[in-house]
A and B are shown apart, each in its own frame.
Chain A
Amino acid sequence: MSHTRYIAVLLLMACALVCGAYAADAGALMAEFKDLGAPQPEKRKLAQEKVRQTRLDALPALLGMLHPKQDTDEFTRIGVLRMIAEFAPLTDQAAQTLAWAAVMEKHLEVRREACAAIRQLQEDRALREVLRYGLAQDAAVRRSAAQALREIDDARALAGLVRAIPMPSVNANVGMPNSYSEPNMTLPLGPSGARMPIFLPQQSISGVATDIGSPAVDLLKEIAGKDFGNLPFGWMNWYREKAAQIGAAEREAYREHRSARELMNAP
């Protein structure tokens, strides 16, 4: 029993030693890569060359430099993101870090640089992660994700959000018809212009509408900076105008010449 414990503790400590060695290596690399944001172009170029030389080992250190607790300055983080973009195709962890930097970084320019990297690499995993941030509970995170999505400006993400808007469902319960106590309207159809009363049945209608709001609509409102309501049609038309598929004049012309059948949304 005691032998087993002895070996287990030894193994644990060996792991600690290995981790320590890794941390030491990463720390040394981070210290070398700090010049990625140096004000002088020569120093930056030198640091970039170092990153390219230590290609395989560099990525974990670069990702570590983006950690919020690291006191790397704004331009170093920007330089780190530019170097990470050179490592494409990225690992899952790198893609997630890009998404995190695009939304949660405190410096605006670093967030934009991360967005530029996502856009340039067409990094779908990072984009998916940014969309996930956009549906978060925290309003500040949602707003930041909306800004990132606007900066990335990926048509697929916007189209996906429009498609995700649910159609609201409305239940209508029609009550019993009322008695014909008074006419609903009068029409001048009688002799000498006499008005003829028209009686129409009246029924009370009560109903419940559900799916009026959705996270996709809220996110789209944040991204567009405009409010087209909660129906998918309005947003679909916004998307088509944004993607330069239709112009405002074409859209108005279509709207003006709709048939009665189309106006009633008949299939």
Chain B
Amino acid sequence: MQAVRAMVFAAFLLCAALVYAAEDEGDMRIGLKPQPASPREVTTEDLQAAVKQLTAAPANNDATPWDRTPEAAALAAQAQENPELFARLLIPPGYPKAFPKADKHVRARAAAVLGLSRDLRALQPLVDSSVYDPEDSARLAAAKALRLLDEPVALRKLVDLASARDYQKFPWPVRKSACVALRRYGDVAAIERLLRELSYELAGGNPVDPKNHLRGASVGIGTDNPMGIPTSTPDLQLSEQDLYPVLAAVKELTGVSFTKGEKDFKTWQQWWSKEGPKFRFAE
């Protein structure tokens, strides 16, 4: 009898514990997990209205830059509510989902608005715009807007693009554009990050560079190449930028190059330890 009473009491306590645990979060449900609400679809009317707002002349038409006007601030508040709308306006014509009326001025202002909103959802569209937009003014606005987001992930993504090894997917003009975006972003941490990658790229030679083949690969009995088969370096006829993507990015970003010892990490390390503390990006 006592055992039955104990079991009943225990069951009661267990239920109490479960209810207490579930009460605050309210996540005890039976059945399929509900899907999060999908963001509202951006209509053509919305886009047209946004373009009209972006191209409207500011009420106080003085020399104040547009991104510091009250109109821009109001649009930034709107962008916090619906960043997808302005992200769509960043897409240049010819790309999927582009809005035909989003000319270079609209795109530059949309980028500025997204930057002012400081909304993280704008990060990827701004990274894409700062690298791939065909107009320099839009790329500049996107890179400056990225800086306003104050998010290290943006810098890492730009560094990835600038030093990408896949020269077919990311040809040199794209990587160069990413370097320019990094310069406009203006954070020295990008150089430090690239130099870390450079140490891996340069140390010990390059397996695809016939003029700077791998140094010190072990050969002979007791090694994993016992027959001493020579490692043939394929001559892929690649440019210097494709053979050394990180080196090319560092040179493009810093504007520094060396006539001697450029493919030695020691040279770059010595330069950075001397110049790093006072380094500033050229305007």
Q: CB within 8 Å of B: which residues of A?
A: 2-3, 5-6, 9-10, 12-14, 16-17, 19-21, 23-25, 27-28, 30-31, 37-41, 75, 78, 109, 112-113, 116, 150, 153, 168-170, 207, 209, 212-213, 223-231, 233-234, 237-239, 241-249, 251-252
Q: Out of B22, B200, B226, which one reaches A225, CB within 8 Å?
A: B200
Q: Out of B20, B223, B263, which one reaches A248, CB within 8 Å?
A: B263
The digit string for B13-32, where 1 denotes a CB below 8 A from any CB of A, is: 11011101111110100000
Whether, in the assembled complex, B203 has its beta carbon less than 8 Å from a beta carbon of chain A, the answer is yes
CA distance A194 to B261 in the complex (A): 53
Whether, in the assembled complex, B45 has its beta carbon less than 8 Å from a beta carbon of chain A, the answer is no
Tell me the nearest residue of chain A to B156, going by C-beta. A112
Q: Which residues of B contact A241 (CB under 8 A)?
A: 202-204, 264-266
Q: Which residues of B contact A31 (CB under 8 A)?
A: 24-25
Q: Which residues of B contact A28 (CB under 8 A)?
A: 24-25
CA distance A243 to B221 in the complex (A): 29
Q: Evaluate whether A247 and B261 lie within 8 angstroms (CB atoms) in the complex, with A20-B18, A24-B23 already known.
A: yes
For chain B, the count of residues having a C-beta within 8 Å of the partner chain is 59
Q: Which residues of B contact A14 (CB under 8 A)?
A: 13
Q: Out of B225, B226, B264, which one reaches A249, CB within 8 Å?
A: B264
CA distance A10 to B20 in the complex (A): 18
Q: CB within 8 Å of A: which residues of B?
A: 2-3, 5-7, 9-10, 13-14, 16-18, 20-25, 27, 80, 83, 118-121, 150, 152-153, 156, 196, 199-200, 202-205, 207, 212, 214-219, 221-226, 261, 263-270
CA distance A226 to B199 in the complex (A): 13
A227 to chain B, nearest CB (A): 7
Q: Which residues of B contact A170 (CB under 8 A)?
A: 221-222
Q: Which residues of A contact B18 (CB under 8 A)?
A: 20
Is A238 in contact with B204, judged by CB distance below 8 angstroms? yes
A78 to chain B, nearest CB (A): 7
Q: Which residues of B contact A226 (CB under 8 A)?
A: 204-205, 207, 214
28 CB contacts below 8 A, A to B, read A3-B2, A6-B5, A9-B10, A10-B9, A12-B10, A13-B17, A14-B13, A16-B14, A24-B25, A27-B25, A31-B24, A40-B80, A41-B118, A150-B200, A168-B222, A170-B222, A226-B204, A226-B205, A228-B204, A228-B217, A234-B216, A234-B218, A237-B215, A241-B202, A243-B199, A244-B266, A244-B270, A248-B263
